Amino acid sequence: MRELKVYNTLTRKKETFVPVTPGQVKMYVCGITPYNHSHMGNARPFVTWDVIQRYLEHLGYEVTHIQNFTDVDDKIINAANGEGVSWDTISNRYIAAYFDVMDKLHIRRADRYPRVSEHMDDIIEMVQGLVDKGDAYIIDNDVYYSVEKFDDYGELSGRSLDDMEAGARIEVDDRKHNPMDFALWKGAKPGEPAWDSPWGKGRPGWHIECSAMSHKYLGDTFDFHGGGSDLIFPHHENEIAQSEAYTGKKPMVKYWLHNGFITINSEKMSKSLNNFFLVKDVLAHYSPDALRFFLISNHYRSPLDFSDERLDEMTRSLERLGTAIDNVLELMEMPAGSKSNEAEQLLAAAKKDEDDFETAMCDDFNTALASAAMFD
């Protein structure tokens, strides 16, 4: 099996991949909050991880892929209240819409898609465990994680606790022991869905859900955790703190991989900036193959600037590749004795390009260089 190098956000360097269990890969990818249709920024990580999974399987690994849906969230509740429907009507609608466009992009289904609403017992058990260990505290009907109890807090994002207190946007709550302490459980408010818990009716904080679900399906330590680079802090930072405090084992994840943003004129694409394009709308004008090829045209950690010109370029490139593939298949069907010297040289060159492709993919899944090898 070829040596695979991956860039680990936690250590800020490329490392040789060594699975937790030989021959197996366990990976968790943060999924969407289904309150609207998926935009291009949502699509990039899922195409990226689909390619990563396919390549890991190509190398011979057995892959277990878990991807969650955050189906209980402020944005979903607000959308439901705005329409006068239940929160799960909104989440179910946009989960179905998610699968519709991702299927068109040839993204294979994960092994499981756990939802927050279906894992309340697991979440409550983890929160209670953190309270019992003294890593979390109760105020009224809320439960908070105490970041000062975790010595390595800030290791993933590379910032000290003091720096994060000064620079982060945090919810002001004078009741908290430290401004950076985050909610594990939030007491019920009028007009919101709520579940029974030892601390009264309420719902989970954002971060605890992924810790509970990844632990349930992948164990104390697993191989890969992925998501957009905007999730490094606070989401993934908080996942590490609460998971390692709960299990008492380190590391929670061996390799953290984060993809770069999709940009419009070098500015991050996002719903909050109102500069986003929905995947379904882009697919009305371009083929799924062209869009998928665009999403892997840069290295996954690099920014990717969206434009019609780039998608037109991807369309033309795929046509060239298709012609080349047809020609090579025809050549390969010719009897060996009928091949010219030039044909033999072409096949030898193709073997080198194939090796270049593998080398690129084994260097932190460099799809940009791998694509160049395909064109060679």
118-173: per-residue pLDDT in tens?
A: 999 999 999 999 999 999 999 999 999 999 999 999 999 999 887 766 655 555 67
Helix (H, G, I), strand (E, B) or coil at 14: strand
Q: Is 10 exposed, middle or buried (0-12, 13-18, 19+ CB in 10 A)?
A: buried
Q: What is the pLDDT of residue 261?
A: 93
With CA atoms as reference, report the closest residue to 198 among 145, 247, 129, 133.
129
DSSP labels for 251-306? -SEEEEEEEPPEEETTEE--TTTT---BHHHHTTTS-HHHHHHHHTSS-TTS-EE-
Distance CA 116, CA 74 (A): 13
Of 164, 176, 187, the C-alpha closest to 137 is 176
The pLDDT score that the predictor gives to residue 349 is 92
pLDDT at 175: 87
Percent of all residues in the chain with a pLDDT value above 70, rounded to a whole number = 96
Confidence label for 338 from pLDDT (cuts 50, 70 and 90): low
- Residue 205: pLDDT band with limits 50, 70, 90: very high
Tokens 């991989």 found at: 257
Domains of the chain: 5-133+207-282 (3.40.50.620), 308-375 (no CATH)
The residue with tokens 């904080």 is 205
Q: What share of the chain is helix, strand, coil (3-state, %, to 5)?
A: 45, 15, 35
pLDDT for 340 equals 78
Distance CA 309, CA 84 (A): 41
How would residue 299 be classed by pLDDT, with cut points 50, 70 and 90?
very high
Cα separation, 18 vs 176, in Å, equals 40
How far apart, in Å, are the Cα atoms of 271 and each of 38, 75, 275, 304, 331? 10, 12, 7, 17, 49
Q: What is the pLDDT of residue 172?
A: 63
Identify the pLDDT of residue 162.
78
Kindly report the number of other CB atoms within 10 A of residue 166's CB atom.
10
CA dihedral sign, ordered 344, 350, 356, 361: negative
DSSP letter (8 states) at residue 333: T
- Provide long-range contacts, Cβ within 8 A and 24+ apart, for 371-375: 371/293, 371/296, 371/297, 374/321, 375/317, 375/320, 375/321
Beta pairing, strands 202-204 & 222-228: unpaired
Range in 91-105, 258-272, 301-315 the model is least confident about: 258-272
pLDDT digits (tens, 9 = 90+) for 41-73: 999 999 999 999 999 999 999 999 999 999 999
Q: What is the mean pLDDT of residues 196-224?
A: 98
d(CA 23, CA 362): 16
pLDDT tens-digit map of 221-238: 999 999 999 999 999 999
Nearest to 44 by CA among 302, 284, 273, 233: 302
d(CA 324, CA 3): 29
Residue 92: CA count within 13 A, CB half-sphere: 7
From CA 124, how far away is CA 131, in angstroms rounded? 10
pLDDT at residue 77, as a whole number: 97
What is the C-alpha to C-alpha distance for residues 234 and 242, in angstroms, rounded to an integer? 12
Contact 125, 143 (CB under 8 A): no
In this prediction, residue 264 carries a pLDDT of 85
**Distance separating alpha carbons of residues 62 and 282, to the nearest angstrom:** 33
